[in-house]
Structure 1
Amino acid sequence: MLEGRLGLLSVVVSQQQMIQRASTALVDDVVDVTVPADGGWLGILRTATAGMAARLGFPGDKIEDLRIAVDEACAMLLVLTQPNGDLHCRFEISVEVLTVAISARIRPGSRLPDPSSFGWRVLSGLTSQAWTEQEGDMATIRLACERPVSNQDTSSAKDAIGGR
């Protein structure tokens, strides 16, 4: 596991060889990025998303779609987040799919976005699949994007962040 801390930014990269998920998707690698729940830090998550997608072989338009989707999901959670909270962004890389999960602890009584809202329609249109999960005060928005066929077998999280 590779771990670093820069100010309030925390990045953790862990290689998880072939973890079986309930959805039967095999996750090869995971990258976690945690930033303060403040709009000024969203650029870090947008940049990480674009860089990850580019290194995994996504075409330019899909990179931009995913970057916008992550930004929108973060914005949805920011308005619900507890004071002085964090946004956790997890990139799960499998052979077929890149899944991005954005999580935060939300204020009591807060509600996740309605699937019929404009913002949710944006997320659904920019990704292969989008869904929410909530357990107690922890809310998660998950975005799944199918990986380009030509690069599905060649890139891992280590490749995506520049390590070999």
Structure 2
Amino acid sequence: MADETVTRAQGVGIPGVRDAVCVRMPAVSAYLSVLRTATAGLAARLDFTIDQIEDLRIAVDEACAMLLRQAVPGTDLVAEFELDGDEMTVRVEVSTVGTTEPRRDDFAWMVLTALADDVDAVTDSPDRMAIVLRKRRDVAGPV
């Protein structure tokens, strides 16, 4: 029975198993390499192409850089990854003093929208800011 549980937990998209990972780390740019590595590893589990993995790594890095500018010193950056079939959703969030949504006409925002399929900024409370990215695996492949 224990072997069956391990096998089920390692699969992606298995009914009854929620494929989600949460990473909490200091809101300091020096730790972003850990997040880029986690992003690549999780995207590889969904069989993303090398180009899609790199796009997602860059998008997550850019989203974090945008958030770190507003992060309260000494707090954490939280990244939540949800894997669902051929799609990954990444939510990166920090504590802020007040909330100023990212400018959607800024170059950094244009980079995000070019690299991810969906991008949104979320301010659920006055002292939290999050950016949510969604990337789908290209099932058709290159044309």
> TM-score w.r.t. structure 2 length?
0.82
Structure 1 residues 63, 16: closer, same or farther in 2, change over 3 A?
Answer: closer
Q: Quick check: 1:127 aligned with 2:124?
A: no
Q: Which residue of 1 aligns with 2:94?
A: 104
Q: 1:114 aligns with which of 100, 103, 115?
A: 103
The question of whether the paired residues in 2 share the 8 Å contact of 1:98 and 1:144 is answered with: yes
Partner AA of 1:133 in structure 2: V
The question of whether the paired residues in 1 share the 8 Å contact of 2:52 and 2:137 is answered with: no
CA distance in 1, matches of 2:100, 2:79: 19
CA distance in 1, matches of 2:57, 2:103: 21
CA distance in 1, matches of 2:78, 2:15: 23
CA deviations on 1:26-52 (whole Å, 9 max, x unpaired) are: x94110001100011000001100111
Q: CA deviation at 1:138?
A: 1.3
Q: CA deviation at 1:116?
A: 1.1
SS at match of 1:48: helix
Q: Which has the higher helix share?
A: 2
Could you say what the CA RMSD is over the residues aligned between the two structures, in angstroms?
Answer: 2.2
CA distance in 2, matches of 1:90, 1:106: 18
> Structure 1 stretches of 5 or more lacking a match?
1-14, 20-26, 151-164
Q: Quick check: 1:49 aligned with 2:47?
A: no
CA distance in 1, matches of 2:13, 2:128: 24
Structure 1 residues 123, 55: closer, same or farther in 2, change over 3 A?
Answer: same
CA distance in 2, matches of 1:139, 1:16: 29
Structure 1 residues 58, 126: closer, same or farther in 2, change over 3 A?
Answer: same
User: How many matched pairs?
Assistant: 128
Q: Which has the higher strand share?
A: 1
Q: Quick check: 1:78 aligned with 2:72?
A: no
CA distance in 2, matches of 1:148, 1:32: 25
CA distance in 2, matches of 1:78, 1:46: 15
Q: CA deviation at 1:83?
A: 1.5
The percentage of counterpart residues that share the same residue type is: 42
The question of whether the paired residues in 2 share the 8 Å contact of 1:57 and 1:148 is answered with: no
